[in-house]
A and B are shown apart, each in its own frame.
Chain A
Amino acid sequence: KNEVEQSPQNLTAQEGEFITINCSYSVGISALHWLQQHPGGGIVSLFMLSSGKKKHGRLIATINIQEKHSSLHITASHPRDSAVYICAVSSNTGNQFYFGTGTSLTVIP
């Protein structure tokens, strides 16, 4: 069983749609990270959160520690949002990092 599960694996949306990507985890964590990987391969850290909600532009990340669940929302999606979004958690015991397998998002003009 993977410690971090993401859904959906693949997502296609029309430009302007509201998008939600989900992440569930099974371990105790000290932080959860959302990463973005563009087709060129570069990885950018979007958010690191341990509680509540964070917002950056059109991106919003929420986390529910009790339910061990996080969501990444994109409002007014744009083709340039097309990328793979990866959820990762840092364990609160030891020094382990666990990664989801990623959600591939395609936004069609």
Chain B
Amino acid sequence: DAGVIQSPRHEVTEMGQEVTLRCKPISGHDYLFWYRQTMMRGLELLIYFNNNVPIDDSGMPEDRFSAKMPNASFSTLKIQPSEPRDSAVYFCASSSGTGKETQYFGPGTRLLVL
């Protein structure tokens, strides 16, 4: 299996622009997680899905952030409009079982908002 795939790996954009991050989980995994990592706050869980349904989005910082999972093999995290404080590494992870099992992380998307 190719593991969790994220794209793009790097994104540089200007403040106010829309940013879309993409994730393909491991086939057969029914949980998908979006995380953000910054130097100041470390790793934070933004949202997670079970069987394509958002279960907990309490970590999403504000309305500028939205996430979708239209099918079992694809999810997006969108920021509109983007702000410099959104600059971070965004990780996607997937797991099977109860959702509290071992998670497999993607390589991350490094986002810089100027």
Chain A residues in the interface with B (C-beta under 8 A): 30-31, 33, 35, 41-45, 48, 86, 88, 90, 94-97, 99-102
Judging by beta carbons under 8 Å apart, are A33 and B102 in contact?
yes
Judging by beta carbons under 8 Å apart, are B89 and A99 in contact?
no
**SS class, residues of chain A in contact with chain B:** strand
B100: chain A residues within 8 A (beta carbon)? 30-31, 48, 90
A43: chain B residues within 8 A (beta carbon)? 91, 93, 105, 108
Chain B residues in the interface with A (C-beta under 8 A): 42-45, 48, 55-56, 58, 89, 91, 93, 99-105, 107-108, 110
- A98 → B minimal CB distance (Å): 9
Q: Which residue of B lies closest to A31 (CB)?
A: B100
Judging by beta carbons under 8 Å apart, are A88 and B43 in contact?
yes
Q: Given A31-B100, A95-B56, decide whether A42 and B42 contact each other with a Cβ distance below 8 A.
A: no
A100: chain B residues within 8 A (beta carbon)? 42
Interchain CA distance A35-B37 in the complex, whole Å = 13
Judging by beta carbons under 8 Å apart, are B105 and A101 in contact?
no
A99: chain B residues within 8 A (beta carbon)? 42-45
26 cross-chain CB contacts under 8 A: A30-B100, A31-B101, A33-B102, A33-B103, A35-B105, A41-B107, A41-B108, A42-B107, A42-B108, A43-B91, A43-B93, A45-B102, A45-B103, A45-B104, A45-B105, A48-B100, A48-B102, A94-B56, A95-B48, A95-B55, A95-B56, A95-B99, A96-B45, A96-B58, A99-B42, A100-B42
Judging by beta carbons under 8 Å apart, are A86 and B43 in contact?
yes
B93: chain A residues within 8 A (beta carbon)? 43
Nearest first, the 9 A-B pairs at minimum CB distance are A43-B105, A95-B56, A90-B100, A99-B43, A97-B45, A45-B102, A48-B102, A101-B42, A31-B100
Which of A48, A86, A95, A101 makes the CB contact (< 8 A) with B101?
A48
- A46 → B minimal CB distance (Å): 9
Interchain CA distance A41-B9 in the complex, whole Å = 11
Interchain CA distance A95-B56 in the complex, whole Å = 7
